[in-house]
């Protein structure tokens, strides 16, 4: 059917409802993309809107409904490519569902994180995805819950609770990496990077469990605390190389720490794999192209992001559903350094 010629009168949702012979609320649901109206009715409404030349003002609809089609994604460290890869997966899933992503980077600053979350609330975000900054208090869960905004926490959990969560099995992943090194004949294995928090505790626990399972003593001096970034990895490896007797292998808190460790080894004329075995954690894309290519624990960052977004979408659709958890099973990727 041909589109009607333009009119000087403003076309409203009431006009579309009359044209399609449906209620105003039905038109509103269809134009918002609601899955509640499907099939022939939805097609009829869309065709009527097109014939009349009606343009849906999404922002006005958001203001009327006190909600938006925006999802707030709050990330603690965008300098780490692991989080960039997670963000790709998150955005892909949310955009497919008709949402836009409002991304914020907190730089591990809890005060800034609070401000960002408040801003998401003021924007009437339809949901929030949060990778908490270090030292984030668990009270943040009750705060966001009191706003009535669906929340999914990802990568770093906040301890016991009923909140939705998506992350990797940190303990199991480091256990596998450490076990691989032990079975390769290494007797003194260091653990590099990480400062505090649940994820650090889990990864260190995996390291300890692997040692214990193979009758090896845990030695505190082989655990080098450092910021979970390249600089921290560089400093941690230098500190580990100063320990006597010397280590022959190390597990990094994450790939970025391991990249910093590679740099420290190179400065001393050492090469990972031949002089000292080294593992990372995450399997970011750059790990396959480091020099030498890094052995690591793969938790498939992009897929993890998609699964985290899928959980939030389910929570938006069903606010009263039981707690949802996704855990990415770790797999070892053996390259030249391990």
Structural domain harbouring 80:
69-169+301-330
Angle at 236 between CA 235 and CA 242, to 5 degrees: 95
For 167, other C-beta atoms within 10 Å of its C-beta total 22
Residue 72 in 3-state DSSP? strand
Whether 336 is in a domain gets the answer: no
Query: Residue 6: pLDDT above 70?
Result: no
Query: Residue 149: pLDDT above 90?
Result: yes
What's the confidence (pLDDT) of residue 59?
A: 52
When pLDDT is cut at 50, 70 and 90, the band that residue 261 belongs to is very high
Query: From the centroid of its chain, how far is CA 187?
Result: 35
When pLDDT is cut at 50, 70 and 90, the band that residue 1 belongs to is very low
| Cis peptide upstream of residue 329 (ω within 30 degrees of 0) | no
Q: Which residue, 282, 277, 67, is CA-closest to 174?
A: 282
What's the confidence (pLDDT) of residue 38?
A: 74
CB-count exposure of residue 196 (10 Å: 0-12, 13-18, 19+): exposed
Same domain? For 261 and 232 the reply is: yes
Same domain? For 158 and 178 the reply is: no
When pLDDT is cut at 50, 70 and 90, the band that residue 68 belongs to is confident
Same domain? For 110 and 34 the reply is: no
Whole-structure pTM value: 0.79
Same domain? For 103 and 153 the reply is: yes
Same domain? For 81 and 164 the reply is: yes
Query: Mean pLDDT in the chain?
Result: 91
Over residues 193-216, mean pLDDT: 95
Same domain? For 275 and 309 the reply is: no
| CA 74/CA 105 separation, integer angstroms | 6
Whether 3 is in a domain gets the answer: no
When pLDDT is cut at 50, 70 and 90, the band that residue 63 belongs to is very low
Specify the number of domains making up the chain.
3
Over residues 185-197, mean pLDDT: 94
Residue 3 in 3-state DSSP? coil
What's the confidence (pLDDT) of residue 196?
A: 83
- What CATH number is attached to the domain comprising 139? 3.40.50.2300
| Element holding 64 (H helix, E strand) | helix 58-65
Query: In this predicted structure, which of 53-62, 243-252, 254-263 has the lowest mean pLDDT?
Result: 53-62
Helices (H), ranges, 215-300:
230-241, 255-267
What the block records as the tokens of 141 is: 């869960």
Whether 278 is in a domain gets the answer: yes
- What CATH number is attached to the domain comprising 30? 1.10.260.40
Whether 321 is in a domain gets the answer: yes
Query: Residue 61: pLDDT above 80?
Result: no
Whether 305 is in a domain gets the answer: yes
Whether 338 is in a domain gets the answer: no
Over residues 3-27, mean pLDDT: 76
Same domain? For 29 and 121 the reply is: no
pLDDT (tens digit, 9 = 90+) per residue, 70-111? 999 999 988 899 999 999 999 999 999 989 999 999 999 999
């Amino acid at each position: 059917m041909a589109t009607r010629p333009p009119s000087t009168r403003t076309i409203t949702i009431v006009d579309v409802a009359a044209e399609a012979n449906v209620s105003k609320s039905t038109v509103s649901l269809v134009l918002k993309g609601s899955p509640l109206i499907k099939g022939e009715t939805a097609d009829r409404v869309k065709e009527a809107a097109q014939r009349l030349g009606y343009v849906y003002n999404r922002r006005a609809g958001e203001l009327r409904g006190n909600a938006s089609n925006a999802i707030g994604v709050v990330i603690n460290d965008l300098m780490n490519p692991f989080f960039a890869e997670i963000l790709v997966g998150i955005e892909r899933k949310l955009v497919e569902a008709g949402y836009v992503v409002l991304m914020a980077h907190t730089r591990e600053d809890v005060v800034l994180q609070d401000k960002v979350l408040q801003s998401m609330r003021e924007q009437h975000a339809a949901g929030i995805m949060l990778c908490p900054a270090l030292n984030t208090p668990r009270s943040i869960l009750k705060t966001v819950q009191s706003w009535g905004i669906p929340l999914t926490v990802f990568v770093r959990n906040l301890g016991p609770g009923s909140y939705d969560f998506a992350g990797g099995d940190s303990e199991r992943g480091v256990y596998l990496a450490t076990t691989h090194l032990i079975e390769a004949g290494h007797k003194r294995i260091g653990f590099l990077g990480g400062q505090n928090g649940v994820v650090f505790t889990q990864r260190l626990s995996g390291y300890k469990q692997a040692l214990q399972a193979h009758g090896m003593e845990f030695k505190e001096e082989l655990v080098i605390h450092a910021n979970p970034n390249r600089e921290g990895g560089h400093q941690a490896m230098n500190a580990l190389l100063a320990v006597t007797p010397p280590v022959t292998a190390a597990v990094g808190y994450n790939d970025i720490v391991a990249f910093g460790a590679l740099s420290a080894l190179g400065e001393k004329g050492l090469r990972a794999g031949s002089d000292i075995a080294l593992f990372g954690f995450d399997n970011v894309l750059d790990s396959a192209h480091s020099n030498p290519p890094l052995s690591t624990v793969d938790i498939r960052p992009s897929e993890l992001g998609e699964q985290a977004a899928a959980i939030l979408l389910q929570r938006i659709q069903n606010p009263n559903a039981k707690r949802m958890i996704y855990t990415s099973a770790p797999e070892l990727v053996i390259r030249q350094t391990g």
